[in-house]
Amino acid sequence: MKKILLASRNTDKIQEVVAMLKGTDFELVTLDAFPDVPDVGEPALTFEGNAIIKAMIVGRKTEMLTIADDSGIEVDALGGRPGVFSARYASGTNEDRCRKLLKEIANVPEGERGAQFHAVIALFDPVSEKIRTYEGIQRGRLLREFRGGNGFGYDPIFFSDEMGKTNAEMTQEEKNAVSHRGKALRKALEILRELYPV
């Protein structure tokens, strides 16, 4: 098994990545194995920039093959906001952020509530010093109420037309099949299998 470090302590993200790595030749290690490595901030103005910064800093500190992601929700009616600031869109809980977003687009009609989840995963090899990035997008629309008890973040208000339900109503397997992070991670896994055959 080839070990890969996920540069995150976010338990929800970790669960998604662990589920996707099941049955592969890769074993996920998290930052919990490196308590001395501090959390890396997200100073960039793009998902790609933040993912690269996190992967390179953590990969160099741990000397491990590292993946990092940055992601968020982009709302058509808000010109792509909150985007890279999704996690910082409002103080408090995920529910607080969802409620603020729904309030901001309360007057947007049904046909104009399109949105997308956008993720970029960066893969950094500290031996070769090579960095690669992989993008995933999930299109959908925003509801006016919360639906479902699974997932996290903006999942309860994001409706996937493809699946006919919100991300929070999906099983982990269903969500990984269509989600932004799932799409980006599958692209990364293809390259990982080529570069690091077990």
Distance CA 133, CA 74 (A): 19
Question: Residue 94 is which amino acid?
Answer: N
The two beta strands, 165-166 and 130-142, are unpaired
Please report, for residues 37, 56, 127, 131, 142, the alpha-carbon distance to residue 156 in angstroms, rounded to integers and kept in the order given: 32, 32, 41, 33, 9
Are 80 and 74 in contact by the 8 Å Cβ rule? The answer is: yes
Question: The tokens of 144 are what?
Answer: 């006016």
Q: Which of 12, 25, 32, 70 is catalytic?
A: 70
- Burial category of 161 from C-beta neighbours within 10 Å (exposed 0-12, middle 13-18, buried 19 and up): exposed
Question: Residue 36 is which amino acid?
Answer: D
Q: Which of 19, 59, 15 is nearest to 37 (CA)?
A: 59
70 is catalytic: yes
Distance CA 150, CA 124 (A): 31
Known catalytic residues?
70
